DNA sequence: TTACCTTGTGAGTCCGGTCTCAATCAGCTA
DNA sequence: TAGCTGATTGAGACCGGACTCACAAGGTAA
């Protein structure tokens, strides 16, 4: 590796001005494209800038315009394809409007999120898109709001915070998916999500992530409507993605194991399917399976999976357009409620006649 | 939506200084944690800052320190899990060192990349990580180098540019994977990648993306070594992800269709597998399949897929650590050559005895 | 007591732009 | 020819911090 070139002093407006033999103010006007400048002078200044290789210092510019043309995005996990795709949407929307995006990954850690908000605010981003890790801690989100900078929540609401939220209607599609399972005969339906709550699920538990709460509400609601007793008993939360497989195993080892499982996102689905595979359980013969999010690989498994599809990219675009519209005090785009749909493929079938659990079914076959 | 709160003027050091009845310089010292300040004054200033809700303006700070504590990352497509995972690594490394990350997505468009480099340089990022869309246009990368700011290339080299590169050794695993196919009897091996080149592949074609060129070199090399004539005839490049399926179809419809296909990344693999599925071709019975990148879903297909695994996350971390080390003029971390490995699962089998192409095999069954 | 440090503090400059304001100048009107 | 108008231009303040420098106060050594 060659020695790095000396970091030369950058060319500034003053340098350009000197070279073009005009005042700094005039050069700045010609370069910044504001105020009035005669054509001849403008040309001379631009030629000088070209010759010197002048590049504006956006930091300095931001400092006195108060606009950084940058929005901050705070998500739990960009490795999660959900956020990868949403990020793509945000990024595309931002580019179209001439904005840049600072991305911060919090690993779903509230403290990291609080920190991220502070840092981005200090960096003077013009607006923020956050998928909040918890609806419990919201002081930092209020700070954003109070700073006067627009905040848009993605995928998750926070109660009592009156800001734009981009989310899909999860409760009704979860209801629909669950009723589909009930309709084909399932009475023991498991639901697995990742969430940092301690202890088993019980009525009235504060879920802290609205998108999960909504999904669960739909799942439970459909079962209650069907007269299934205590559907909450087959709900499980894993703390972090490493915890999913153990939780899935535990659920499937139950004497009254579920005959169908709903996975709350694609990462969970992957872990659950992996566990099923390890246990030698077949989908849908032994266990029916439904998952949230529709990525291409879900059509390539055997069988293709029944999924709940959300317009993730579009939601990302909407989030981007919305913050930027707010930043520019323009009317926000109309469309902010997104529809999720149940895509029926082949991972749902009637449960085995056997009354036993999944593992039991296995030994019976 | 309630009306946004008025964007109040931010609290500055001067405000804090006034409130604590000290000079601006002293307040700045107490807050910025530099220079000498007596304990009593420091406490008074910090109390005042607390009371006023002072937050430093990082823009102003960056302006005269010349450091923004921000690195720029330019990738072709964050929707691609490869970059999602790498981004996660970069992001984690950055956070550890107190850096933020500005992410720009170029859609693999060179002009967008040139623009992105300019914008990020103007924003005064301290360093840049780029997965260059082309080794052809490199002027903008030279500009980074000349600006004196460190540049790290991820996944792809650029000839004649003496900067740090984080990449895995693709040529040798590609060779190994291909020889594996040859060993089980394949003599017609297809290779599909996305790349913006016009016309069919021919010897000496400038591939412009080193990671693809390396893979191809290994693929072709193994076949040449085995005495397979004209292996280049089954190489196909699609222009953008939309073009993969047509290309795959064309390849499979050939009278001398390949009996095995190698997909150059996971997005391509998805499209190829989808096409295979549509055509009713089974893996590995009708066509053997090997792909680059090892994501969890590749174990859930039927059959599980033979893949080439790279330590993507670690490479992201290395890229992050490397730029930051350069920014701080520290020694760069030792490890910069990464090993990719062939993970044999069940998508490779001996070709059918039939001499015909894949489609022909279909009708024969 | 005087000289010499050391530590703490304030005044003011600088970073690289934007922006206000006053001055200059050419063209026109009366 | 004096007066007015609009277009250009330059001087300098300002954004919010970091940092240089001069100076004052207190402590120590000779």
pLDDT digits 0-9 by tens, B229-273: 999 999 999 988 899 999 999 999 999 999 999 999 999 999 999
User: Percent of chain A beyond pLDDT 90?
Assistant: 83
Arithmetic mean of pLDDT, A332-344: 86
| Model pLDDT for residues B46-71, shown as the tens digit of each residue | 999 999 999 999 999 999 899 999 99
pLDDT of res. A92: 97
Tell me the nt nearest to A40, Cα to C1'. Answer: D8
For chain B, positions 145-184, list CB contacts with chain A under 8 A. 145-150, 162-164
Chain B residues near residue A85 by CB distance under 8 angstroms: 79
pLDDT of res. B352: 86
Chain A residues near residue B296 by CB distance under 8 angstroms: 270-271, 274
| Residue B40 contacts strand C, CB under 7 A | yes
Instruction: Please tell me which residue of chain B has the smallest CA distance to A85.
Output: B79
For residue B74, the cross-strand partners are: B104, B130
Q: What's the number of CA atoms in the CB half-sphere (13 Å) around residue B301?
A: 30
**What is the Cα–Cα distance from A233 to A202, expressed in whole angstroms?**
8
Secondary structure E strands in B48-112: 70-75, 100-105
- Please say if the pLDDT value at position A2 is more than 60: no
**What is the Cα–Cα distance from B247 to B190, expressed in whole angstroms?**
11
pLDDT of res. A159: 86
**What is the Cα–Cα distance from B22 to B332, expressed in whole angstroms?**
43
A55/B59 Cβ within 8 A? no
| Model pLDDT for residues A76-119, shown as the tens digit of each residue | 999 999 999 999 999 999 999 999 999 999 999 999 999 999 99
| Residue with CA nearest C1' of nucleotide D7 | A36
Instruction: Please tell me which residue of chain A has the smallest CA distance to B164.
Output: A1
A123/B100 Cβ within 8 A? yes
For residue A308, the cross-strand partners are: A292, A342
Element (H, E) at B247: helix B244-253
Chain B residues near residue A248 by CB distance under 8 angstroms: none
What is the average pLDDT value for chain A, to the nearest integer? 92
- How many C-beta neighbours within 10 Å does residue A109 have? 15
Arithmetic mean of pLDDT, B323-338: 86
Task: Please check whether residue A241 touches B, CB under 8 A.
Answer: no
**What is the Cα–Cα distance from B215 to B288, expressed in whole angstroms?**
18
| Domains of chain B, each with CATH number or no CATH | 13-56 (no CATH), 68-167+312-338 (3.40.50.2300), 170-311+343-364 (3.40.50.2300)
- Please say if the pLDDT value at position A361 is more than 70: no
User: Chains A, B: CB contacts under 8 A, how many?
Assistant: 165
pLDDT of res. B4: 56
**What is the Cα–Cα distance from B221 to B235, expressed in whole angstroms?**
13
- Please say if the pLDDT value at position B309 is more than 70: yes
| Residue B280 contacts strand C, CB under 7 A | no
Task: Please check whether residue B84 touches A, CB under 8 A.
Answer: yes
Arithmetic mean of pLDDT, A234-262: 95
Arithmetic mean of pLDDT, A202-210: 91
CB A166 within 8 A of CB A338: yes
Arithmetic mean of pLDDT, A237-265: 95
Chain A residues near residue B5 by CB distance under 8 angstroms: 145-146, 148
Angle between helices A24-32 and A13-20 (to 10 degrees): 110
Instruction: Please tell me which residue of chain A has the smallest CA distance to B10.
Output: A147
pLDDT of res. A289: 98
Task: Please check whether residue B92 touches A, CB under 8 A.
Answer: yes
Q: What's the number of CA atoms in the CB half-sphere (13 Å) around residue B39?
A: 0
Q: How confident is the model at residue B365 (pLDDT cuts 50, 70, 90)?
A: very low
B57/A150 Cβ within 8 A? no
Structure tokens at A82: 């959900």
pLDDT of res. A15: 95
């Amino acid at each position: 590796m060659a020695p790095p070139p000396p970091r030369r002093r950058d060319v500034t407006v003053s340098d350009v001005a000197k070279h073009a033999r005009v005042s700094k103010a005039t050069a700045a006007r010609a370069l910044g494209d504001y105020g009035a400048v005669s054509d001849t002078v403008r040309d001379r200044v631009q030629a000088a800038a070209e010759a010197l290789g002048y590049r504006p210092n956006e930091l300095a510019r931001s400092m006195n315009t108060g606009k950084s043309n940058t929005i901050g995005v705070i998500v739990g996990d960009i490795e999660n394809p959900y956020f990868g795709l949403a990020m793509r949407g945000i990024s595309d929307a931002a580019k179209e409007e001439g904005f840049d995006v600072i991305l911060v990954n919090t690993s779903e850690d509230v403290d990291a999120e609080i920190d991220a908000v502070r840092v981005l605010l200090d960096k003077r981003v013009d607006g923020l898109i956050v998928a909040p890790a918890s609806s419990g801690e919201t002081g930092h989100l209020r700070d954003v709001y109070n700073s006067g900078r627009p905040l848009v929540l993605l995928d998750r609401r926070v109660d009592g915070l009156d800001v734009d939220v981009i989310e899909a209607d999860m409760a009704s599609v979860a209801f629909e998916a669950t009723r589909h399972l009930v309709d084909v005969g399932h009475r023991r339906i498991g639901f697995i999500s990742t969430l940092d709550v301690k202890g088993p699920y019980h009525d009235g538990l504060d879920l802290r992530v609205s998108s999960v709460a909504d999904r669960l509400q739909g799942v439970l609601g459909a079962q209650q409507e069907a007269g299934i007793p205590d559907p909450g008993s087959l709900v499980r939360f894993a703390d972090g993605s490493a915890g999913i497989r153990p939780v899935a195993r535990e659920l499937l080892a139950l004497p009254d194991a579920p005959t169908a499982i709903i996975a709350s996102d694609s990462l969970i689905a992957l872990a659950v399917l992996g566990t099923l595979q390890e246990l030698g359980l077949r989908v849908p013969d032994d266990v029916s399976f439904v998952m949230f999010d529709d990525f291409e690989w879900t059509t390539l498994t055997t069988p293709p999976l029944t999924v709940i599809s959300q317009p993730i990219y579009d939601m990302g675009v909407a989030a981007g357009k919305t913050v930027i519209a707010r930043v520019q005090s323009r009317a926000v785009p109309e469309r902010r409620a997104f529809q999720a749909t149940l895509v029926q493929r082949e991972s749902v079938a009637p449960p085995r006649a056997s009354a036993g659990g999944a593992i039991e079914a296995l030994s019976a076959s």
